Chains A and B, each alone.
Chain A
């Protein structure tokens, strides 16, 4: 009787040991994945900041005005050339 119990328990022990090894293995893999995802998120943050910077640099009023005047031959609006429309009239 005790012999059988011993066999069952030792088999159980082996199974537990293996599953622990497996769990550890999986957790490390997941951690690596998580780490990679976090790095990606940081990189995207950096890219986003860079794009915002670019937007601000390219959208500089100085540059817009220069392009409007030089390339598009636009001139500033004056009050005498403006027709104002009022709602309801």
Chain B
């Protein structure tokens, strides 16, 4: 075989010998040497093959992941918490994006001192305070949360190594202390802590999304890869509250609490047609935007969570039941004697001797003896059923955190004297909102509807409790309380409108006994306007001190003030020609 070619001159030019004749070619090497080379080559190929198998087969996922990590980024798409608005669309709570400033302490401490001073200034912190925060072994320290955007931008401009920011939301409550017991507030993590913010946490919060992208060297998003998880923003919540009526209720309540030197107070306004809570005010209150000095007293939602012995505000239920069962008529005469009535070992008293009075006048003058006598003419079970039907002692299902059931003892354990005292609201405990809701059956035609804290779009279905005629009779009696000759709540009169209601004064119970010296809770529950009830307004004044403490003296004027303004705000046409209200100076005390 001829290797190479003479023609193209592959020759060892210098020697003039053709390649094939090269003497080196003639050398015979031992066979094992080529075998060794072959063997080595073979093993290198096997090695390469194995390596390729390893990379492609076994560790491929890991490698691909590592590759992707160098150009792919996952972006968090945080959902915004839904807004809370009142029934007319006024914003009550809204989230605004802010930044949390965090640091890697070790890196930050290497920054020049003047930059750290500037940082402390922007964070509104002491330099020593800031350094104390940074003096930590941890690799992640929050310096300040909920920093507003413009401040965060200035901090970013300082370009301190180890300082970073994280997006978060801050919740603002423009209506402040007026609305806070209804709206509630969220914590720093944007999670609802109180009232509607807590109750509706799930719908308000929404769900965060994420998106996987390829970013280029400049940080621009170049391509979406894979699936985008769209964030779902929280749903907006429309409450039933009317911010105007709420404001009226809050200011009038505040005025009453301060005027009568009371410890606290609560007021609630309900819409008779829809069962919506138009206002729910407590005093003392707090500003949800600044909760540094928040106390339990301020936080307390008395209307919902405090129960008290309602006192005489309960008498209408006893009388209504007797009317409904046909046991009495409004004109039926009852002998209340000289103002003292003894059952077993207990004596029930009236504030003065009323003598023989009609059932109507029992309500008008708020006679304990009259109510007791009516109650004792009925089986205990009937009374218990009435209380239960209107919601006393029943766990409320209104979707409001902390709402309490109150207490009505089972009728089998009632002694006759207890049945008598319960007719005028002793030995039973209710919350103010339960009381207001119970009056719904008098304001409507004997039926009651569920309460709602959210705007109602469809008319609710009522549950009949008493006959429509009984409800009408009761409204007439409630009007006498306010404008009758012996009425106990003349101060509840409203110029231009007919109103009705019932006063209540109860001794406070502390540690299972009546507090000594006596502490009072004065209350008033009323309907307005009486010709076609639109609002139920309940007011409670807790521990008024000084000259006045009866419901007719402390709570009734607040009711009148709230009703006057609320009726005007709601454009309710007047149904009375009386435009000047003259209240007797003494006001007249009434029974409990």
Binding site for B on A (CB under 8 A): 27-28, 31-32, 35, 45-46, 49-50, 52-53, 55-57, 59-62, 76-80, 82, 84, 86
- Collect the chain B residues with CB atoms within 8 Å of residue A84's CB: 573-574
Contact flag A28-B495 (CB < 8 Å), given A53-B94, A53-B96? no
- Collect the chain A residues with CB atoms within 8 Å of residue B10's CB: none
- Collect the chain B residues with CB atoms within 8 Å of residue A52's CB: 83, 91, 94
Q: Tell me if B83 and A80 are in contact (CB < 8 A).
A: no
B305 within 8 A of A: no
Q: How far is the CA of A53 from the CA of B496 in the complex (A)?
A: 37
Q: Tell me if B95 and A62 are in contact (CB < 8 A).
A: no
Q: Tell me if B96 and A57 are in contact (CB < 8 A).
A: no
Give 8 nearest A-B pairs by CB, closest first: A79-B496, A79-B495, A61-B247, A56-B174, A80-B579, A57-B174, A56-B91, A79-B579
Stretch at the interface among B185-193, B218-226, B387-395, B415-423: B218-226
- Collect the chain B residues with CB atoms within 8 Å of residue A77's CB: 568
B244 within 8 A of A: yes
A28 to chain B, nearest CB (A): 5
Q: How far is the CA of A86 from the CA of B573 in the complex (A)?
A: 9
Nearest A residue to B494, CB-CB: A79
B554 within 8 A of A: no
**Restricting to B47-103, which residues have a CB under 8 Å from any CB of A?**
80, 83, 90-92, 94-97
Q: Tell me if B96 and A32 are in contact (CB < 8 A).
A: no
Contact of B223 among A31, A53, A55, A80 (CB under 8 A): A31
Nearest A residue to B172, CB-CB: A53
Nearest B residue to A86, CB-CB: B573
Nearest A residue to B97, CB-CB: A46
- Collect the chain B residues with CB atoms within 8 Å of residue A56's CB: 90-92, 94, 174-175
Task: List 12 extra interface pairs beyond A31-B221, A53-B174, A55-B91, CB under 8 A.
Answer: A28-B222, A28-B223, A31-B223, A49-B94, A50-B96, A56-B175, A60-B178, A61-B247, A62-B247, A79-B564, A79-B579, A80-B495
Binding site for A on B (CB under 8 A): 80, 83, 90-92, 94-97, 172, 174-176, 178, 220-224, 243-244, 247-248, 251, 495-497, 564-565, 568, 573-574, 579-580
Contact of A46 among B96, B220, B223, B251 (CB under 8 A): B96
Q: How far is the CA of A52 from the CA of B564 in the complex (A)?
A: 30
Q: Tell me if B221 and A49 are in contact (CB < 8 A).
A: no
Q: Tell me if B244 and A61 are in contact (CB < 8 A).
A: yes
Q: Tell me if B178 and A62 are in contact (CB < 8 A).
A: yes
- Collect the chain A residues with CB atoms within 8 Å of residue B580's CB: 80
Q: Tell me if A79 and B574 are in contact (CB < 8 A).
A: yes
Q: How far is the CA of A47 from the CA of B178 in the complex (A)?
A: 25
- Collect the chain A residues with CB atoms within 8 Å of residue B220's CB: 32, 35
Nearest B residue to A46, CB-CB: B97
Q: Tell me if A60 and B91 are in contact (CB < 8 A).
A: no
Q: Tell me if B495 and A49 are in contact (CB < 8 A).
A: no
- Collect the chain B residues with CB atoms within 8 Å of residue A59's CB: 90
Residue pairs across A and B with Cβ atoms less than 8 A apart, 23 shown, are A27-B223, A31-B221, A32-B222, A45-B80, A46-B97, A49-B83, A49-B94, A49-B95, A50-B96, A53-B96, A56-B92, A56-B174, A57-B174, A59-B90, A60-B178, A61-B178, A61-B247, A77-B568, A78-B579, A79-B496, A79-B564, A84-B574, A86-B573
A9 to chain B, nearest CB (A): 30
Q: How far is the CA of A52 from the CA of B93 in the complex (A)?
A: 10
- Collect the chain A residues with CB atoms within 8 Å of residue B574's CB: 79, 84
Nearest A residue to B581, CB-CB: A79
Nearest A residue to B243, CB-CB: A61
- Collect the chain A residues with CB atoms within 8 Å of residue B565's CB: 76
- Collect the chain B residues with CB atoms within 8 Å of residue A35's CB: 220-221
- Collect the chain A residues with CB atoms within 8 Å of residue B174's CB: 53, 56-57, 60
- Collect the chain A residues with CB atoms within 8 Å of residue B94's CB: 49, 52-53, 56
Q: How far is the CA of A28 from the CA of B224 in the complex (A)?
A: 10
- Collect the chain B residues with CB atoms within 8 Å of residue A82's CB: 496, 579
Q: How far is the CA of A32 from the CA of B224 in the complex (A)?
A: 11
Q: How far is the CA of A61 from the CA of B497 in the complex (A)?
A: 24
- Collect the chain B residues with CB atoms within 8 Å of residue A78's CB: 495, 579
B220 to chain A, nearest CB (A): 6
- Collect the chain A residues with CB atoms within 8 Å of residue B178's CB: 60-62
- Collect the chain B residues with CB atoms within 8 Å of residue A50's CB: 96
Q: Tell me if B96 and A60 are in contact (CB < 8 A).
A: no
- Collect the chain A residues with CB atoms within 8 Å of residue B496's CB: 79, 82
Q: How far is the CA of A76 from the CA of B545 in the complex (A)?
A: 29
Q: How far is the CA of A81 from the CA of B90 in the complex (A)?
A: 31
- Collect the chain A residues with CB atoms within 8 Å of residue B579's CB: 78-80, 82
Nearest B residue to A28, CB-CB: B222
B79 to chain A, nearest CB (A): 12
Nearest A residue to B177, CB-CB: A62
Contact of A53 among B91, B222, B224 (CB under 8 A): B91
